[in-house]
Amino acid sequence: MTFKKWIKHFIDVDRPIGDLAKEISRDKKFPNLTSKKSDYQKGISYLESLRASRDAILAFKNAWTFYYHEEKDVLDNDED
């Protein structure tokens, strides 16, 4: 699952991850990121190119951590 699809599950959450989800869902140019480590940097670079706030970048970093580990668990379980 892409990060963009995954983050949409948090649109109604009243926390920074929910704010991030709303912004990403409205942003037609937000890159389709997968759980590749190189995609993490693409996400950071994209947000920096928009001059996103430190809070927005921190929300992305925290959300990415959850996303990455969740995707890793799914992939690990598929190998069983």
Tell me the per-residue pLDDT of 34-80, one tens digit each, with 9 for 90 and over: 988 899 999 999 999 999 999 999 999 999 999 999 988 665 565 54
pLDDT at 7 over 60: yes
pLDDT of residue 71: 87
| Nearest 10 degrees: Cα torsion 66, 55, 30, 35 | -20
* Domain that residue 46 falls in: 3-78
Please state, in angstroms and rounded to a whole number, the distance separating the CA atoms of residues 75 and 46. 26
pTM here is: 0.87
Report the CATH number that the domain containing residue 18 is assigned in CATH. 1.10.150.260
| Nearest 10 degrees: Cα torsion 31, 35, 39, 40 | 100
Domains held by the chain: number: 1
Query: What integer is the mean pLDDT of 16-27?
Result: 96
Q: What is the separation of C-alpha 68 from the centre of its chain, rounded to a whole number of angstroms?
A: 9
